[in-house]
Structure 1
């Protein structure tokens, strides 16, 4: 009887938090961080994240891939994490190249520069290697990810971050190109107005393909897998940078190309 009550309470917590986070992402108010007191560990946090995905699907959106967060050691240290975190990527949050990014409905958006992988083959299992990722990748593309927290004041703990789909908000991909043999040597700059933020692919677990390999194992342990056609945002090369209306964001990833977006209110 007691175990059943605990399970019922956990299910109610998942549904309540997912609904509040989903509503905040649709233009509602940010979620009171006090509600996170009910988040008891990462399993419950990932259950909330999955429930927000289900709400998106019920509203007519579709999942087109995944995003990986906390791929640098400083980011993991900030949340007391011993591994990266993963979220889903929704078609409705992917901006067409050339379309402006509106800040309406966002709370404190920040820009990240990423390498997006477009898979040509499925990846599954807990022993996926960097070489496996290269073989399965049909193309890569320069990408800008816009991250934003639906918690008032931002996520303060790792479960809060995970429950909120690892801060996924918007993304824009540049032209797809054939992946080079060694992605770890890619460097990047993010230009926004007079600011220039440098970055390197080595900040992403030493090699962005290693982050995708981690994701394959993470999903497999949760009963899922990476599929052909999935887009994976592999982690930021540059420090997350606050943005606002009037900014023009330009991410230059050298031989991988450039992607740009104008920010409006």
Structure 2
């Protein structure tokens, strides 16, 4: 495992990479002994420094919950990161491209919690009961660690590669829509690039919320009412460039768009 000094140093490197929109060498190339526990410790130091600087935590992202994403990354287990208030955009937003590194877009559903949710035995039914509503979303990936050879340790330390999210304006209670069959048709500049259905996320997109509640319980924590939970992508990540127009059609859940400027 890494020492507290090494954890703090890597967290500082990642903070500087975020500030400069740069990329640092893989953690696992420099510290092959680093564990998943180390990576969450690095993320935690980085998170706490951001909160101390005035950023407000509004939710969590879950990643690598679908076969599409696991195959795209070569990583086979879910992870999670934090989301701050200044990373949330509404559909139609113009997104400054230079704020991110290795910019890609994913198709997801987000869930807003009405009540707290905790483990250790949280089920899909428990998660659905705790959810206020579902909303379609795009996640913007932002990787500050070199991609080649990256492992889950590198990804987790880098806040699970989360950069920002774009939320739609259609809210649905979980009993109003067949969540596993919500589709996503992702286009860039008018050309369809990726398609999928939300069942690709662990068979049901809210199952990741239960997984996260149980994982948090291991650390003596819980998910709180009002938090936004990004459930994980059910398409492969789509690379974007400055000037690209992105559109995703979620059928009855509406359309989410953004443009990178």
**Unaligned stretches of 5+ residues in structure 1:** 1-5
**When the two structures are superposed, what TM-score results if normalisation uses the length of structure 1?**
0.90
Confirm whether residue 207 of structure 1 aligns to residue 204 of structure 2.
yes
Say what the alpha-carbon RMSD is for the aligned residues: 1.9
1:76 match: secondary structure: helix
Change (3 A) 1:113 1:28: closer
Contact 2:120/2:213 (8 A) holds in 1: yes
Confirm whether residue 189 of structure 1 aligns to residue 182 of structure 2.
no
**Unaligned stretches of 5+ residues in structure 2:** none
Who is 2:125 aligned against? 131
Equivalent residue runs for 1:199-238 within 5 Å: 199-238=196-235
Contact 1:139/1:176 (8 A) holds in 2: no
Q: Tell me which moved more, 218-227 or 77-86.
A: 77-86
Who is 1:156 aligned against? 150
Who is 1:87 aligned against? 81
Equivalent residue runs for 1:107-186 within 5 Å: 107-153=101-147, 156-181=150-175, 182-186=178-182
Contact 2:91/2:168 (8 A) holds in 1: yes
Change (3 A) 1:142 1:34: closer
Pairwise CA distance, 1:258: 1.5
Give every structure 1 segment of 4 or more consecutive aligned residues whose post-TM-superposition deviation is greater than 4 Å: 77-82
Separation in 1, partners of 2:255, 2:139: 13
Separation in 2, partners of 1:241, 1:113: 9
Pairwise CA distance, 1:129: 1.2
Contact 2:21/2:98 (8 A) holds in 1: no
**When the two structures are superposed, what TM-score results if normalisation uses the length of structure 2?**
0.92
Pairwise CA distance, 1:245: 1.2
Change (3 A) 1:13 1:60: same
